[in-house]
């Protein structure tokens, strides 16, 4: 089965966080296959026994990286949906939260984009189910706006969702924290673009 | 240096095409590192000597896959730009050509998305330069439309480009040739969405 089942955010001890930070850095730099447990242990300044006390395997680390990124983004989403704003304000808040949190965790996002297929089937299914929850919630939001007439039917809600998540998932390819444009500005531009396309005629 | 320098389309002998098709299939299925030259040789029904007569290494095959995909898309782009349509019709034609050719070569696109960082630095630089040419041409097209007032300045041309290419580059994650929606329909929806966002107020 899918290994560790503690919810994201449960990895709160300083040691666990140090191990995860080391793993994210090394996976982003050298790939999952190109990183050994020994390298993680050295970077995190811990013993192998210490690592295995917290994580059963390299696969556990990889899943924890995905799980914590997705869980954080799902929590943001639920918080925004619970605020009960109108659909345009909700879509703007969701896009901005997603772009900014991806920028803030760009190494995790890079590992996610490149190494997802290194997970074993059960773990992969668990991660994909979480991601699907996020996509479905976003698509439902667009669909509701289209039904209520606050969004145009310029494109089906599914297609709008693929456009938004395509852009976000590609951020690891080009986003640099020290680049010319802060993530918040880019996020606002994307939200403007999407909301303009969706504006009723 | 970057190995084979023949332009894409030069790989036209049936044997070369059979080798490339076998490599694309295996790389898409098992990854670059997970595929041996022996497996390619068996699938292409050729001898190792035969393969090495045409391709110097597995890296050569990987680069050829990228090069031919990008070159094909650059040729489409140049043909569309040469037609001298107005910016909206040009943007529509470019998006449709890009989405449809990505769908038609989805295994190549999948290898491209996952395995680009397996190329050695010189080959990687060559592939990236080609991709940048495509991005720059598209961005210039949006910018020209914005300057001429046929497109709104809803978002900078760079951001519009990242949105469009983000969506296209993510297609290998979700596009299925036997899915419910033909690529041409999806392409038209994306073009509608982008052109609606860019419509002057």
For B193, the closest of A114, A159, A186 (CB atoms) is A159
DSSP A10: -
Distance CA B200, CA A175 (A): 29
Look at residues A194, A140, A197, A134 and name the one whose alpha carbon lies nearest to residue A167: A194
Q: How many domains does chain B have?
A: 1
Mean pLDDT of chain A, nearest integer: 91
For B116-138, letters b (16+ CB in 10 Å) and e give bebbeeebbebbeebbeebeebb
Domain range for A166: 66-198
CB pairs A-B closer than 8 Å: 76
Contacts of A170 (CB under 8 A, 6+ apart): A113, B162, B165, B166, B169, B170
For B193, the closest of A117, A163, A169 (CB atoms) is A163
Q: How many CA atoms lie within 13 A of B4 on its CB side?
A: 23
Is A145 within a domain? yes
**Predicted local confidence at residue A117, as pLDDT:** 79
Look at residues B35, B41, B72, B67 and name the one whose alpha carbon lies nearest to residue B54: B41
Is B90 within a domain? yes
Is B111 within a domain? yes
**Predicted local confidence at residue B118, as pLDDT:** 82
> How close B116 gets to chain A, by Cα (Å)?
10
pLDDT at B140 over 50: yes
pLDDT band with cut points at 50, 70 and 90 for residue B10? low
Closest residue, chain B, to A166 (C-alpha): B167
Check B154 against A190: CB less than 8 A apart: no
* Disruptive mutation site among A109, A136, A155 for chain B (greatest number of B CBs within 10 Å): A155
**Predicted local confidence at residue B41, as pLDDT:** 95
Is B102 within a domain? yes
Is B160 within a domain? yes
**Predicted local confidence at residue A114, as pLDDT:** 82
pLDDT at A4 over 50: no
pLDDT at A41 over 60: yes
Residues of A within 8 A of B174 (CB-CB) are 162
Check B162 against A162: CB less than 8 A apart: no
Closest residue, chain B, to A186 (C-alpha): B159
pLDDT tens-digit map of A96-107: 999 999 999 999
- CATH number of the structural domain spanning residue A160: 1.10.357.10
Is B137 within a domain? yes
The CB-based long-range contact list for A51-56 (8 Å cut-off, 24+ gap) reads A51/A19, A54/A13, A54/A15, A54/A16, A54/A19, A55/A4, A55/A19, A56/A3, A56/A4
**Predicted local confidence at residue B4, as pLDDT:** 43
DSSP line for A95-133:
HHHHHHHHHHTHHHHHHHHHHGGGS-HHHHHHHHHHHHH
pLDDT band with cut points at 50, 70 and 90 for residue B112? confident
Residues of B within 8 A of A117 (CB-CB) are 31, 114
pLDDT at B6 over 70: no
**Predicted local confidence at residue A176, as pLDDT:** 93
Helix, strand, or coil here: A9? Answer: coil
Helix, strand, or coil here: A5? Answer: coil
Look at residues A129, A132, A131, A153 and name the one whose alpha carbon lies nearest to residue A143: A153
Is A23 within a domain? no
Distance CA B25, CA B28 (A): 5
Is A135 within a domain? yes
For B170, the closest of A169, A192, A193 (CB atoms) is A169
Closest residue, chain A, to B186 (C-alpha): A159
- For residue B190, CA distances in Å to A72, A173, B4, B134, B160 come to 29, 22, 36, 18, 12
pLDDT at B8 over 50: no
Residues of B within 8 A of A154 (CB-CB) are 192-193, 196
pLDDT band with cut points at 50, 70 and 90 for residue A52? very high
ipTM value for the complex: 0.89
Which range scores top for mean pLDDT: A80-84, A118-122, B122-126, B129-133? A80-84
- For residue A106, CA distances in Å to A103, A171, B149 come to 5, 8, 36
**Predicted local confidence at residue A12, as pLDDT:** 73
For B159, the closest of A114, A189, A197 (CB atoms) is A189
């Amino acid at each position: 089965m899918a290994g560790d089942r503690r919810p994201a955010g449960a990895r709160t001890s300083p040691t666990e966080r140090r191990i995860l930070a080391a793993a994210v850095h090394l996976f982003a730099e050298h790939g999952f296959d190109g990183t050994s447990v020994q390298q993680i242990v050295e970077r995190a300044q811990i013993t192998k026994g210490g690592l295995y006390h917290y994580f059963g395997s390299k696969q556990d680390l990889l899943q924890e990286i995905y799980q914590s990124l997705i869980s954080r983004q799902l929590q943001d989403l639920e918080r925004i949906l619970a605020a009960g704003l109108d659909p345009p304000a909700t879509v703007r808040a969701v896009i901005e939260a997603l772009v900014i949190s991806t920028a803030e965790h760009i190494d995790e996002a890079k590992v996610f984009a490149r190494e997802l297929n290194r997970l074993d089937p059960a773990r992969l299914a668990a991660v994909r189910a979480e991601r699907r929850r996020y996509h479905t919630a976003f698509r439902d939001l667009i669909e509701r706006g289209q039904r209520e007439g606050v969004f145009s039917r310029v494109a089906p809600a599914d297609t709008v969702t693929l456009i938004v998540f395509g852009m976000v998932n590609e951020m690891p390819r080009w986003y640099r924290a020290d680049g010319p444009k802060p993530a918040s500005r880019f996020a606002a531009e994307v939200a403007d673009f999407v909301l303009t396309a969706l504006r009723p005629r």
